[in-house]
Amino acid sequence: MFIIQMGLINMNKHDVKLILIVTIISVLLIVIIRNINFKEQEALVYYENKLVLTIDLSIDKEYEVEGYNGKVNIEVKNNKIRVKEETSPLHICSKQGFVDSMFEPIICLPNKIVIKLKDKTDIDAIVK
């Protein structure tokens, strides 16, 4: 605002109002998009690229899958999923924590386990 008051930029009151409105709308849209919760989500657990388990994220429960190095314990809580415990040298999978986004898979390379989230509706596109 100091630059505007000094007259270095030619902006009138309407320009400032427009910038403020666009900024507020942008921030609101980002907040809304980040907080969209896909209630109909499921997790697909793969071992060596083969689907071994499908998990409903609406049910809080613990699961166990056999990985390359041993057992992998998976926990579902509050529509989120994580690897609770696994047998691997650095325990990177369990350090990742809970995941609830389709864009953030859990990849456990030492155990060859991949957990992907997907929407149960499974609509890729609408063609008219």
At 40, list the tokens.
Answer: 């109909």
pTM above threshold 0.95: no
Phi-psi region of 122 (alpha: psi -120 to 50; beta: other; left: phi over 0): left
Q: 3-state class of 101 per DSSP?
A: coil
Contact 70, 87 (CB under 8 A): yes
Architecture of domain 41-119: Sandwich (2.60)
Residue range 30-52: mean pLDDT, rounded: 81
Check residue 126 and give its pLDDT: 59
Element (H, E) at 74: strand 71-77
Mean pLDDT over the full length of the chain: 83
Element (H, E) at 114: strand 113-119
Domain ranges of the chain: 2-34, 41-119
